[in-house]
Amino acid sequence: MLATFQTVIHLPYSPSFNGALAFAPAAAYQPQFLCIMNTVLSLLGACVAAFAASAAFDGKFNMVHIQNATLAEVFLTPWLEERIGLRCPDTCGVHNLHGMPGLLGGLTAALVANFMPMHNTAVVAHSNNQALYQPAGVGVTLMLAIVGGTIAGQAITAGTPASLTLEAQEMYEDAIWWDEVESEKPEEDLATGARL
What distance in Å separates the CA atoms of residue 144 and residue 124, rounded to the nearest whole number?
25
Residues 47 and 119 in one domain: no
Do residues 65 and 96 both lie within one domain? no
- Domain boundary among the residues 40, 73, 106 is at 73
- Predicted pLDDT of residue 146: 92
Verify that 148 and 81 share a domain, yes or no: yes
- pTM exceeds cut of 0.85: no
Q: How do residues 134-180 score in pLDDT, each as one tens digit?
A: 889 899 999 999 999 999 988 887 777 655 677 777 777 767 666 66
Check residue 74 and give its pLDDT. 45
Which segments of the chain does DSSP mark as H helices, in order? 2-19, 30-58, 63-72, 78-84, 94, 100-115, 130-159
Residue 115 · residue 124 · CB < 8 Å:
no
> Under a CB-based contact definition with an 8 Å cutoff, are residues 135 and 107 in contact?
yes
Same domain, 80 and 54: no
Q: Is the dihedral of CA 146, 43, 50, 5 positive or negative?
A: positive
The tally of domains found in the chain comes to: 2
* 174 within some domain: no
Give me the residues of the chain with pLDDT under 50, please: 73-75, 189-190, 196
**Helix, strand or coil, per DSSP, at residue 93:** coil
Same domain, 65 and 31: yes
For 152, the domain range is 76-158
